[in-house]
Amino acid sequence: MASEKNPTVRAARRYVVELSIGMAAYVVVLIATRTVLAELAQPWLTVAALAPALPLLYVFAAMLRMLRGTDEFARMLLVESAAVAGGITALLAATYGFAEGPHLLPHPSAWVTWSTFMAVWIIAAFIIRARYR
């Protein structure tokens, strides 16, 4: 099959498997640690609170492996959409920060910035990919 020799297809398949493993581990660790947080004292409280970041490191490594395993065009699409998402997120965060300074808006969680980046990255990927069709 031609798709079996396509490095982008192979990288994407491997990524789906690795992402699934990483996210399943993340959910298990998150639920386990959040269940026991109230019962822990320092330093175990800090360890448990930060433990869900470990599976996310595996997910990040899987993303890098996928990026490096794709062809130049797919890599360019991923990097360009991430750059657009980073720029738009930075602009939104700076604009929000200007209004936040004089206490016009509440201080959001860091999750808001991360969620914004991920949402804009997905939208940017669709728009950028559509340009080349």
Structural contact between residues 117 and 89, judged by C-beta atoms closer than 8 angstroms: yes
Q: What is the CA radius of gyration of the chain?
A: 19
Cα 50 off chain centre by: 17
- Tens of pLDDT, residues 88-109: 999 999 999 998 888 888 888 8
The phi and psi torsions of 69 (rounded to 5 degrees) equal -90, -5
- Tens of pLDDT, residues 19-72: 999 999 999 999 999 999 889 899 999 999 999 999 999 999 999 999 999 999
Instruction: Give the amino acid at 38.
Output: A
- Residue 95 DSSP class: H
What is this structure's pTM?
0.75
Structural contact between residues 105 and 96, judged by C-beta atoms closer than 8 angstroms: yes
